[in-house]
Amino acid sequence: MSPYALPLIAPFVLLLSAGLSFSLSELHSRLVATVAEITALLALAVALVSVVTLVFLGAGESTLFGTAGIGLSTRLDAVSVTMLALVAFVGWIVVRYSRTYLDGEPRQSTFTGWLTAALASVLLLVQASNISQLVVSWMATSLCLHRLLLFYPGRIAAQRAARKKLLFTRIGAVSLITAAVLLTLAFGTTDIAAINAAARKGNVPLMAVSATILIALAAILKSAQFPTHGWLTEVMEAPTPVSALLHAGVINGGGFLLVRFADVMLLSPGTLAVLAIVGGFTALFGALVMLTQPSVKTSLAWSTVAQMGFMTLQCGLGLFSLALLHIVAHSLYKAHAFLSSGGAVEQVAAIRRPGPVAIPDGAAVCWAFIAALTIYAAIGAAFGTIFGFDHKTPQSLALGTILIFGVAYLLAQGMADAAPRVLTRMTAVYSLAAAFGYFALQTLAEWLTAGALPTTPTPGRLEWTLMVLAIISFGTVAVAQALFPLWSNHPAAAGLRVHLSNGLYINATFDRMLGGWSVRKPS
């Protein structure tokens, strides 16, 4: 067997585990859970071996197990092995956690079966070398997630979330299938690497450009972008492992799709602009609503909405290597956040807060933003001097400016009159670390994905307009957030908080539009 076909072992053993889960009765749930954990660990080992294979043998793909471009084949490159390792690692953690979390729960074996089947589908998706495998595994992932969302079928909110997700899934599947057909006809092949290589050369048919619109639509629907985000905020009705599983290549599958077809997406600047606008607005919207949520898990769900929006913004700006880095970083910390959310309330309640609360005034906020941007410029200049300024594209610098606004918010707390000196020193250190970390990780991501992903194109007038708009929008929200304590008692602020806590009623509007279809009363 070719070493490039080795990753196919991972989904194969997980599917065997899923078949065992469905075939045995609930009396053998502990055996099923044990087998699932072992196979998930084996899948992780296969993913790590795939990383070693890429390092020593270089990028490549296996032969096709099928005919006429339809079948199973795998590709090893920086994108696929990164996702393989991420999905396998998070998947193993979730399976291990589920073994204890659902111990003694009715239908535990069924849950374990759909969980391992979902992991197998995602692993097939991220290593796919041909479009047919990618499309089938994309739909299989959605099917498995639908079954997991309905693990508690008697919960009305769970039914509503699952049915809204099913609606968006069907639209996204049709979009992706149509895009696959158009790309196959345009390039005369189903091989993804060959399609990207041809797109990189330019002079492609109009059908390929049309396919970018459908790929973008499928990605938006998959990653719960505004206004299709409602189902994600209701996923709390499913068991906690499902929330963590979303970050093992499921909810961020839209970002992976855009990264996988990065060369094709660059053929249509208009489509990328739409992605930037939708992603940027979703990021701002999700972040604002997140701050108003009283529930830990609901707040985390809205945070995921915001993070997926920021990932889409990165793809829209052509920063595909940074989008891949974002997928990895967000998946790891958010999966951990969901799995550890049970003890978060107790930990927060145990924290003592002596002394007055540090509330920054306008002057402190102004100086904080000036200091943050100065730190960012200084660290950027230092990295540019050492590594060169060629790879510092305007898009990446604009993205860093947006990220540094979060640092400015922390600095504002440290510069408040009532802030203790320890807090001031800590925020200064964190500011330096954040700026250094951004440039370091950006350089590392671009180096690791060189050749696998295209370089960020030179921005035109449209791209410059989007970057300026994004900086102004995120900067305004960051300033408003820092100053919010000063006017939080105003009646208008209280009303705004109520509206934001309800997500500006977008989800409720969807529920009303769907009517009786969205909720099925339990029999």
The full set of domain ranges for the chain reads: 1-129, 150-342, 354-486
> Cβ(279)–Cβ(316) under 8 Å?
yes
> Cβ(10)–Cβ(84) under 8 Å?
yes
The amino acid sitting at 237 is: E
Confidence at residue 346, expressed as pLDDT on a 0 to 100 scale = 61
Q: How many residues does the chain have?
A: 523
Peptide bond into 420 cis (omega under 30): no
> Which residue is it, tokens 């194969």?
12
Integer distance in angstroms from the first to the last C-alpha of the chain?
Answer: 51
As a whole number of Å, the CA-based R_g of the chain is 23
CA angle 261, 280, 291 (to 5 degrees): 130
Element (H, E) at 232: helix 230-233
> Cβ(198)–Cβ(204) under 8 Å?
yes
Cα(148)–Cα(134) distance, integer angstroms: 21
> Cβ(290)–Cβ(306) under 8 Å?
yes
Cα(267)–Cα(118) distance, integer angstroms: 32
Cα(170)–Cα(176) distance, integer angstroms: 10
At what angle are helices 362-387 and 394-414 packed, to 10 degrees? 140
User: How would you write the pLDDT of the chain (523 residues) with one tens digit per residue?
Assistant: 678 888 999 999 999 999 988 888 777 788 888 899 999 999 999 999 999 999 999 888 888 888 888 889 999 999 999 999 999 999 999 999 888 888 777 888 888 999 999 999 999 999 999 999 999 999 999 999 888 888 887 777 777 777 888 888 899 999 999 999 999 999 989 999 999 999 988 777 888 889 999 999 999 999 888 888 878 887 777 788 888 888 777 888 899 999 999 999 999 999 999 999 999 999 999 888 888 887 787 888 888 888 899 999 999 999 999 999 999 988 888 888 878 776 665 665 555 554 555 667 677 778 777 877 787 788 777 776 776 666 678 888 888 888 888 777 777 766 666 556 676 777 778 778 877 888 888 888 888 888 889 988 888 888 899 999 999 998 888 888 777 777 767 777 778 778 787 778 887 777 777 765 544 443 3
CA 336 vs CA 97, 125, 244, 469, 483: distances in Å: 11, 23, 7, 33, 31
Name the H helices within 237-355.
240-245, 253-260, 262-265, 269-290, 296-316, 320-339, 344-349
Single out the residue of 168, 167, 148 nearest to residue 158, CA to CA.
148
The amino acid sitting at 460 is: G
Helix (H, G, I), strand (E, B) or coil at 71: strand
Q: Is 178 exposed, middle or buried (0-12, 13-18, 19+ CB in 10 A)?
A: middle
Cα(93)–Cα(76) distance, integer angstroms: 24
Cα(119)–Cα(188) distance, integer angstroms: 31
Cα(474)–Cα(405) distance, integer angstroms: 8
> Cβ(400)–Cβ(380) under 8 Å?
yes
Element (H, E) at 208: helix 206-222
Task: Tell me the pairing of strands 75-76 and 65-67.
Answer: unpaired
At what angle are helices 131-149 and 253-260 packed, to 10 degrees? 170
How many Cβ atoms are within 10 Å of 153's Cβ, its own excluded?
13
The amino acid sitting at 81 is: V
DSSP 224: T
Which residues are paired to 75 by β-bridges?
A: 61
Name the token pair of 83: 């996702």
Element (H, E) at 75: strand 75-76
DSSP secondary structure string, 109-171? HHHHHHHHHHHHHHHHHHTB-BHHHHHHHHHHHHHHHHHHHTSSTT-HHHHHHHHHHHHHHHH
Task: Tell me the pairing of strands 60-61 and 75-76.
Answer: antiparallel
Name the token pair of 350: 């145990």
Helix (H, G, I), strand (E, B) or coil at 60: strand
At what angle are helices 29-57 and 108-126 packed, to 10 degrees? 10
**Which residues have a Cβ under 8 Å from the Cβ of 158 and sit 6 or more positions away?**
149, 150, 151, 152, 234, 237, 238
Kindly tell me the sign of the dihedral angle through the C-alpha atoms of 433, 413, 405, 283.
Answer: positive
- What is the Cβ-side half-sphere exposure of residue 55, based on CA atoms within 13 angstroms? 7
Residue 60 phi/psi, 5-degree rounding, is 180, 175
Cα(116)–Cα(37) distance, integer angstroms: 9
